[in-house]
Chain A
Amino acid sequence: MAGQPASAVRRASTAAVRLEGLTLRYGGRTALDAVTFDVGHGELFALLGPNGSGKSTLLRILSTLLRPGSGRALIDGVDVSEAPAAARHRLGVVFQAPSVDGKLSVMENLRFQGYLYGLSGKALTARIDTLLERFALGERRRDMAGKLSGGLRRRVELAKALLHRPRVLLLDEPSTGLDLPSRQAFWQTLDELRGEDALTVVVASHLMDEAERCGRVALLDGGRLVAVDTPGALKQELGDTVMTLEASDPAALLELLTQRMGLQGVVQDGTVRLSGTADPALAPRLLAEFPEQISALRLGRPTLADVFLVRTGHAMATEPEPAETA
């Protein structure tokens, strides 16, 4: 590995993750189209987009599994295509598909993982002990990983990814298969890790509430970068209020709204979301005009889903993303 002073200097001057015109086409399809952005050290950063938006491809390139067609991806100043081995030392990855071996104990999983990164002996044992304690897995260390609950297994997964003290942690759909309490505990842990080790965390997700937790969000759609900013700033652009109408036949309602009142919107999750900042004064008028069609009317703060809608012209699919295996 590079000497400490040199890497410290580089760290101060470079981003934790840098993408420069990252492009990948296969089979006539553009998976990534000139995506450019930086992630600073210690950031909690989300890649948000629907299935097929390119976030998984982006994550696969960053984790050195896939080579970009053109452009560059750098982890802590290291080009993932030119020096994959050096990039891998700086990277921890938690994939959607579990990499924990169910036939091995928690301890064995971690030890074998350490060997893969060239760690061994007392240093490895000490590091494993620290992580087991950190993730409250100490008492389960001898348990077969396959016997653990989903939440615990995800913690082992995280411990595996952090064993070699990576600079950047990549997470692909980290909430897949977790119940709500486990999910909340997982995010709590991520926050703490970031604080403790100045770890940079990049999360690929199709879930709005996960992206909302992150410091900054990159919105991806069809391989293109739609926007990068803090969730607050992105939502700010939409103004204060968003109006949602519940209806038994939302598509028919939207048609009526467009024909009679010139309103624009989209149908999403069985509701009609009106585009743009909604005027609250419109609410009683709508209820009076369409008493049969509208069963409920909601005024709320804009969400990232609204941002996505406005920026791309279509709604983000909200059905759960199928597990992708390589």
Chain B
Amino acid sequence: MNAATTGTMTAGSAAPTRSGTAMLLPTWSLFAREILRFVRQPGRVMGSLGTPILFWLLLGSGFGHTFQPPGMGHSLSYLTYFFPGTVMLVVLFTAIFSSISVIQDRTEGFLQGVLVAPVPRLSIVLGKVLGGAMLGFVQGLILLLLAPLAGLSLTLGGFFWACGAIFLTSVALSALGFLFAWRMDSVQGFHAVMNLLMFPMWLLSGAFFSASGASFWIRAVMDINPLTYGLTALRGALHPAAERAAMGIGDPVVAAVVVTGFAVAMLLGAAWVAARPERG
């Protein structure tokens, strides 16, 4: 919960009107509602879990025999290499598209009811963002438990490290989604914009191929892509140090710091857009 706490404190100073305890209940209200609504829609649960698993099996097996990312050696199959990227894909999709509920709340009228309640805007941001992040986190976690099937061994320490990486990435992406969704009134528009952002983000995160064999500019994009660091942090939990070195994976601690920074920045951004006055 590091990101959440950090986010609360930093952004809290920007909205000094309410004390922390006054924020807690409203935040919980919006957070719990987000989770309840998700669970009540089995289609959403199935879709967001099923798609990446299918993707992983089909793509991973298909490429398995023909495609070897450079530096990987022959000890790892592509199914194994591709696994952490699949986890991040789940997180990416769930966390970002959970922000669709922000648009729905606005168009359906629920948000108006929240805006006329004595709720600090920061509570709205935290409730919605953490709700979406929790959905991404839990689904990432479920997939993570399949790691042994992908030929990856998971130590206890590695598990907690992986949880941290997944959670931080979820918070960052959920806040990113909120940032875009807050002002939008069309779910279709949000879909279009986010797809434009999400696919390059995911493809160039090292999920598909490692940076070592890529051209200069692709590598540059991968270096500034925050998801790269989420994935690096996650790989840190799944591969021992020697294997990481062979695969050309960066320092997971540095990656975790970058992801934390990304999460805080996105939360501040979300708090900023939500704090601006509504349009007439």
Seen from chain A, the residues whose Cβ lies within 8 Å of a Cβ on chain B are 24, 26, 31, 57, 60, 63-67, 85-86, 88-89, 91, 93, 95-101, 103-104, 108, 112-113, 115-120, 160, 325-326
B157 interfacial contact with A, CB 8 Å: no
Q: Please name 25 pairs of A and B residues whose Cβ atoms are closer than 8 Å in the assembled complex, sorted by A.
A: A26-B280, A60-B280, A65-B116, A65-B278, A67-B277, A85-B17, A88-B117, A89-B118, A95-B109, A95-B113, A98-B109, A100-B110, A103-B37, A103-B40, A103-B41, A104-B33, A108-B33, A112-B32, A112-B33, A113-B113, A116-B25, A116-B26, A116-B114, A116-B118, A325-B185
**Distance to closest chain B CB from A105 (angstroms):** 9
B115 interfacial contact with A, CB 8 Å: yes
B interface: dominant SS: helix
In the bound assembly, the distance between CA atoms of A101 and B25 in angstroms comes to 18
B110 touches A99 (CB 8 A): yes
B280 touches A101 (CB 8 A): no
B41 touches A66 (CB 8 A): no
Residue of B nearest to A85 (CB): B118
In the bound assembly, the distance between CA atoms of A218 and B116 in angstroms comes to 23
Binary A-proximity of B4-31 (CB < 8 A = 1, otherwise 0): 0000000000000110001001101110
B109 touches A120 (CB 8 A): no
A326 touches B40 (CB 8 A): no
What B residues does A116 contact at CB under 8 A? Answer: 25-26, 29, 114, 117-119
In the bound assembly, the distance between CA atoms of A261 and B148 in angstroms comes to 96
B195 interfacial contact with A, CB 8 Å: no
Contact of A99 among B18, B28, B37, B109 (CB under 8 A): B109
B106 touches A326 (CB 8 A): yes
Q: Number of residues in B with C-beta < 8 Å to the partner?
A: 31
The 4 closest A-B pairs by CB, nearest first: A97-B109, A99-B113, A115-B29, A88-B118
Q: Count chain B CB atoms within 10 A of each CB in A65, A91, A108 and give the residue with the most.
A: A65
B280 touches A93 (CB 8 A): no
**Distance to closest chain B CB from A113 (angstroms):** 7
In the bound assembly, the distance between CA atoms of A288 and B259 in angstroms comes to 88
In the bound assembly, the distance between CA atoms of A91 and B17 in angstroms comes to 19
Q: Count chain B CB atoms within 10 A of each CB in A89, A95, A97, A160 and give the residue with the most.
A: A97
**Distance to closest chain B CB from A59 (angstroms):** 10
B112 interfacial contact with A, CB 8 Å: yes
A104 touches B37 (CB 8 A): yes
Chain B stretch 22-81: residues in CB contact (< 8 A) with chain A: 22, 25-26, 28-30, 32-33, 36-37, 40-41
In the bound assembly, the distance between CA atoms of A6 and B116 in angstroms comes to 24
Chain B stretch 243-261: residues in CB contact (< 8 A) with chain A: none
In the bound assembly, the distance between CA atoms of A160 and B112 in angstroms comes to 13
B153 interfacial contact with A, CB 8 Å: no
In the bound assembly, the distance between CA atoms of A111 and B143 in angstroms comes to 33
Binary A-proximity of B178-193 (CB < 8 A = 1, otherwise 0): 0000000100000000
Residue of A nearest to B114 (CB): A116
What A residues does B115 contact at CB under 8 A? Answer: 64-65
In the bound assembly, the distance between CA atoms of A108 and B106 in angstroms comes to 19
What A residues does B33 contact at CB under 8 A? Answer: 101, 104, 108, 112
A97 touches B112 (CB 8 A): yes
Residue of B nearest to A116 (CB): B117
**Distance to closest chain B CB from A325 (angstroms):** 6
